Structure 1
Amino acid sequence: MALNPQKVLQGDASINQGMANFHNKAHFWGRLTLFMTILASLSAPLYMSFVVGAHPGWGPILAGLIGYAGFIGVMWVIEPITYYPILGIAGTYLAFLSGNISNLCLPCSAAAQEAIGAENGSNKGEIAGVFGIAVACLVNTIVIVIVILGGSYIIMMLPEAIKSAFNFILPAIFGAVLGQFAFKTPLYGLVGSLIGLAILVSPIISFIKIALCVAMTITFILYMEKLKDKKRAS
């Protein structure tokens, strides 16, 4: 039975309109909740500074801001660009609102997309990623409440060998995510690993290493894709 081209086009238009409405609502609620979070974060220091009268002076505040921005300010630009292809619009708002992006939201989004066979950057992948991040944030909130109530006591009871293993959690997560995506395109995984290793051992300022690694990997892979397109065209 042949497909009706008109119905196919109507279906695609309906999906695109639905995703556009979804993105508009994601922008509205994402900006609103982030703005409320910023206000809530500033309320305590503003109260202490201008109501209680414990303002430390603008000199220490600016010195602290400059020092912190010099150390990690580049990540304010790099992280949204790096994580967006996997997180999507709504997922980016959720992840940056809840935190724990690299060690929680990103792996859960990738795992959700992998579970249903969705392609990164597609509508299907974005919806799956949002569900994965939302569930991760909910579980994270529950775990945080439990840890706040009795976490310090539980950690004190753990053997020292288990406590020392906590240092390997983040590298293990990054390795698992790399392996998950490198399995689809092993060559690109190898390229990213080699570039990362070369930058790691090179005498480059530490706070730009991640940004440089991301930029070089993206540039090299885009170049390889263009070569593939030229070969197919010829």
Structure 2
Amino acid sequence: MKIQNYSYEDRTHLFGRIWILTALVLIFSFPIAACIYYDAWPGFTPVLKGLLGVAPIFWTVGLIEVLTFVPMLGTAGSYLAFVTGNLTNLKVPAALTAMENMNVKPGTEEGEVVSTIAIATSSIVTTVIIAIGVALLVPLTPILNSPVLKPAFDNILPSLFGGLAVVYVSKNWKISIAPLVFMVVLFLIAPSLSSSVGVLVPVGALIAIGGARILYKKGKL
């Protein structure tokens, strides 16, 4: 069957899988090329020891992100986001904000279109900004390392999610109470967990779903 005869969803999965596999090949190509060029092979045991320290964390976060973000982003948006990366900090907020502004819901055809356009635009803008940043890195280094700007850089992520929280919490404040209280207490007890955003976002989502279920059964929603 010709590709033109495929449905939109089938073509999305076809090209999405091609780009995912292409990205995977590119990721492994650099270390393999470096080993070939320098004739330096680390061996299976050292690589395995290095992977045992970090791979389980990335596997867990990767699985959780797929289960959490795919229903929000849709098929095409998910493929694009996972290929370009930085979902939690950039792609998901961009997609959710775009859908909010267009008054469409995740999981609908309209939501998928808006999500895909938002993620694509975000990827292009990010690439352009990174290219400009690399070109201007040396001249801007004294400014970026300025103690005056350090508080601003330390609060970029909280301000980003804070803006999204205002919108969603104001619309569903009853549902937000349980995950909000849990996260506040958790971070007060263990502040070091603030670096584990990839794992804690799905945990907060599960708490919100459970709280919403309880409120629904009690007729509070």
What range describes the TM-score normalised by the shorter chain of this pair?
0.7 to 0.9
- 1:105-139 per-residue CA deviation (whole Å, 9 max, x = no partner) reads 11111111111111222221121111111111111
* 1:108 matched to 2:99: no
Looking at structure 2, the residues matched to 49 and 152 of structure 1 have their Cα atoms a distance apart, in angstroms, of: 30
Larger Cα-atom Rg: 1
Looking at structure 1, the residues matched to 93 and 132 of structure 2 have their Cα atoms a distance apart, in angstroms, of: 22
TM-score of the aligned structures, taking structure 1 as reference length: 0.79
- The aligned residue for residue 147 of structure 2 is 160
- 1:30-86 per-residue CA deviation (whole Å, 9 max, x = no partner) reads 111111011011112122334642111112211111100244432111112222232
Looking at structure 2, the residues matched to 119 and 132 of structure 1 have their Cα atoms a distance apart, in angstroms, of: 14
* 1:225 matched to 2:216: yes
- 1:161-193 per-residue CA deviation (whole Å, 9 max, x = no partner) reads 113321111121122222222222111122221
Looking at structure 2, the residues matched to 202 and 72 of structure 1 have their Cα atoms a distance apart, in angstroms, of: 24
1:91–1:133 CA contact under 8 A, matched in 2? yes
Looking at structure 2, the residues matched to 217 and 184 of structure 1 have their Cα atoms a distance apart, in angstroms, of: 14
Alpha-carbon RMSD across the aligned residues, in angstroms, is 2.6
1:195–1:217 CA contact under 8 A, matched in 2? no
**What count of residue pairs does the alignment treat as equivalent?**
211
- The aligned residue for residue 37 of structure 1 is 23
* 1:214 matched to 2:205: yes
- The aligned residue for residue 3 of structure 2 is none
* 1:191 matched to 2:178: yes
1:74–1:211 CA contact under 8 A, matched in 2? no
TM-score of the aligned structures, taking structure 2 as reference length: 0.83
What amino acid is the match of 2:210? T
What amino acid is the match of 2:152? A
- The aligned residue for residue 170 of structure 1 is 157
1:30–1:90 CA contact under 8 A, matched in 2? yes
Equivalent of residue 47 in structure 2, options 61, 76, 89: 61
Identical columns (%): 26
> Which protein, 1 or 2, shows the higher relative CO under an 8 Å CA cutoff with sep ≥ 6?
2
- 1:75-100 per-residue CA deviation (whole Å, 9 max, x = no partner) reads 11111222223211111111111112
- The aligned residue for residue 67 of structure 2 is 81
Looking at structure 1, the residues matched to 200 and 121 of structure 2 have their Cα atoms a distance apart, in angstroms, of: 32
User: Which runs of 5 or more structure 2 residues have no equivalent in the other structure?
Assistant: 1-5
TM-superposed CA distance for 1:222, in Å, is 3.2
- 1:2-44 per-residue CA deviation (whole Å, 9 max, x = no partner) reads xxxxxxxxxxxxxxxxxx9322222111111111011011112
Looking at structure 1, the residues matched to 137 and 74 of structure 2 have their Cα atoms a distance apart, in angstroms, of: 33
